[in-house]
Amino acid sequence: MSAQMRIAASELRLYLREPTAVGTTLVVPLMIIVAFGLLIKPGDPDPIVSYFPGLAITFSLAMMSMTLMPSILAGYREKGILRRLYTTPVHPSKVLIGQLLVSCAVAVAVAAIVVGVGAAMGFPLPAQPLGFALAFVLGCLSLFSLGLLVAAIAPTARIASGVGGFLFIVSVLLGGVFTPREVMIGFLSEIGDYTPLGATMAALRDSWAGHFPQPLHLAVMATITVVFGLASARLFRWE
């Protein structure tokens, strides 16, 4: 096994040992899809059947990208773990890649759980599979690039957790996650279209309802991925 895969496996074990992390990223989405699956009825309109699966997936992605990833990586820097890796043949960037691999694996697991369990509970499968896959991949990339940027600029794990928590609250309020876009004030939903979480939520819902994601939302996610990804690479400090 390569050094990169050993680090990823170690990061996965650390993730699985944290009940809070597993609960918020895997168990909560499962509970959302099961609980609301008991309430839906055949013939419910698209806004209902597309909202709850989108909620389950985006909630998990937001928790991983805005709370878990920044605090973990900033904590590694604060404790000197990244600095000590410089004395070994393993470059500290492999820790970042390991975190991204674990986050992507968990994200795929969440999507599989939501789609599979949702279908068993009466939710339809995504009616636009290609659009769903594209929205999911771009959503993961844009949100994880945001998490890396927070980790890059936060000097300590506590500050990273605070900044990430603030971004999480703002994102779920503007992004149509905890409040469906259909009942939001117009200008708030328009602002949410330009946030990574709001664009991801809208694109996932569109694909679930059988519509290809809007170019605006795809462009927002792609732009955020490039801009935040380059910024985090430039600003990230190993010590």
Phi, psi dihedral angles at 127 (to 5 degrees): -75, -15
**pLDDT at residue 105, rounded to an integer:** 94
pLDDT at 162: 93
Write down the pLDDT at residue 239: 74
Output the pLDDT for position 1: 62
Judged by phi (left if over 0) then psi (alpha if -120 to 50, else beta), residue 43 lies in left
Which residues, at least 6 apart from 131, have a Cβ–Cβ distance to it below 8 Å? 203, 206, 207, 211, 212, 213
Q: What pLDDT score does 37 carry? A: 82
pLDDT lower than 70: segments of the chain: 1, 41-47, 89-92
Domain ranges of the chain: 3-235
What's the burial of 181, exposed, middle or buried (CB within 10 Å: 0-12/13-18/19+)? Answer: buried
- Report the pLDDT value the prediction gives residue 42, as an integer from 0 to 100: 57
What is the model's pLDDT at position 130?
96
131-173 confidence digits (pLDDT tens)? 999 999 999 999 999 999 999 889 899 999 999 999 999 999 9
pLDDT of residue 77: 85
